[in-house]
Amino acid sequence: MAENNSVIHSAAVIGAGTMGRGIAYLLAQSGIRTVLYNRNGNNLNQAREYILQDLDKRVAQGKISPQKKGEVLANLIFSAEFDAIADSDLVIESIAEQEQTKLEILAAISAGVKAETIIATNTSSLSLNKLATAVAHGERFIGLHFFNPAPLMKLIEIIPAYFTSQSAIQRCQRLVEAIGKQFVVCKATPGFIVNRMARPFYLEGFRLLEENVAQAAQIDSALKAGGRFRMGPLELTDFIGQDINYQVSRQIWQDMQYDPRYTPGHLQRSLVDAGLLGKKNGRSFFTAATAAHTPPAAVEAFPDVLRFHGSHPLFALLQRSAQAVRPALRWEHQPEQPGLGAFIQVDEAFIIKVTDGRTANQLADHSALDVFVVDAALDYADTPYLVAAHNQHARQANKSLFLNLLHSLIPQVEFIKDSPALIVARVIGSLINESVIMVESGVCRREDIDIAAVAGVNYANGIFDWLALLGQKNVKTLLDNMAQLLHSARYYPHYSLLNVPRPALATAP
């Protein structure tokens, strides 16, 4: 087949469900003549009604003009006749995630369109290379993974199969730019970029709950406050649908040869079995889960001396906030200590350490004092909520003194189970490790990971921005300790995170 670098002027979308109608609507808004095909006329009528209602709403809100509404509708053709797709420059298959059905429809598309027509699938979980076997002239087959709702979401994943031509990739890149979206390109790997990169967010949320580390509301609150996530993993899976989220996790786990990093939790499976799917059916396991918030204690006891061993972003902030409460507060700066690293000693009573993956009980073995471990936060100066833990036999007076001190900076501080890496550090460390593994194995570039994180799943920062903020050495130490205490294969840091100097390669004499 001859190379074709022309602009895409016409398209067809196969399937008038939620994703299909959204993709067709997006393309039509961008001035592309678009056929929305579905053999079921009722589905077509529902799609037409949905788009009409949305256009009317946007006109009423002053977001678009009546003329623009007319232009969008003029670009849309709703058809139950398969032949209507024949002259399209691009055909996007967006039917149910059933492999055999997709293979059949892709073969029909291949036989019914021009030889130069690009044929794309919107699959989120099936093998691109298996689906490509149904398409004659495999160089024109590609994955275009849109996110729901397609008109609003900023990202589209472009996934070439083995035989996809560079021309097809470039035409799809130009299309994505023309419709005002961002793209990332990745290998045809399970979950592509977004679903694979973000998998630890959901999996670790459920693991924390299964391990009884904290309540659901505490897990979600900690990640929203300290990690700047818009929703916590448990409330987000409720919003997505527990069945959908679990199925994606299970599919990636199977496709990754049952690698323990992707093992779905038994708790989420039990929710699906029980029909507790979340908002989609109005039955949620988490609706009654509320954190037992501890109000700030009356400031009676307060430190006299803070000794800062080493440095950390939290230390200077805590020094200023504490001194505002007690102007006579004294402080000292001293080097880190072997075995403990950077920490704050409060009077002669206890020490405070930002988690490095070790538990408070472990750290207490290196000190004659009580130990309080606090969770990570991307910005302690603007964090409304923080979790912490203490060693098993910490004195009650020290707990009160610790809370008084932390409340000078953080409005809400709660104790949870003394566990490795607590909540935010554990989740972000896992997300970083997975992203590093993807880049180092050639799935995509660092830039693609960061674009996908911000534009695809609405994280506050790119994953590699987090790595730079937390420091490679600290992330590696965190993961090392998680691997030792939780699961060696699941959390072991990728070798590229090793923080020791690498010896020069030996050369032959």
Catalytic residues: 124, 145, 157, 195
Number of helices (H) and strands (E) in the chain: give both, helices first.
Answer: 20, 15
Measured distance CA(266)–CA(467) in Å, rounded? 30
User: Hey, what amino acid is at 296?
Assistant: P
User: Shortest CA distance to 140 belongs to which of 118, 110, 171?
Assistant: 118
Residue 144, beta-bridge partner list: 158
Residue where the block lists tokens 């409460």: 325
Q: Are 124 and 10 within 8 A, CB to CB?
A: no
Strand partners, 35: 12, 77
Reduced to 3 states (helix: H, G, I; strand: E, B; else coil), residue 399 is helix
User: Across-strand partners of 282?
Assistant: none
| Residue 86 burial (10 A CB sphere; 0-12, 13-18, 19+) | middle
SS3 351: strand
Q: Which amino acid is at 85?
A: I
- SS3 call for 413: strand
* Displacement of CA 378 from its chain's centroid (Å): 16
Cβ–Cβ < 8 Å for 20, 14: yes
Find the Cα–Cα–Cα–Cα dihedral 184, 190, 191, 192, rounded to 10°.
Answer: 0
Tokens standing for residue 251: 């599919």
CB 36 within 8 A of CB 16: yes
Give CA–CA dist 127/147, Å, rounded. Answer: 18
Strand order in the sheet with 330-334: 330-334, 305-309, 343-346, 350-354, 370-374, 385-390, 412-415
φ, ψ dihedrals at 35, nearest 5°: -95, 125
Mapping DSSP to helix (H, G, I), strand (E, B) and coil, where does residue 469 land? helix
Task: For CA atoms 494, 499, 505, 506, give the dihedral sign.
Answer: negative
Return d(Cα 16, Cα 36) in angstroms, integer.
7
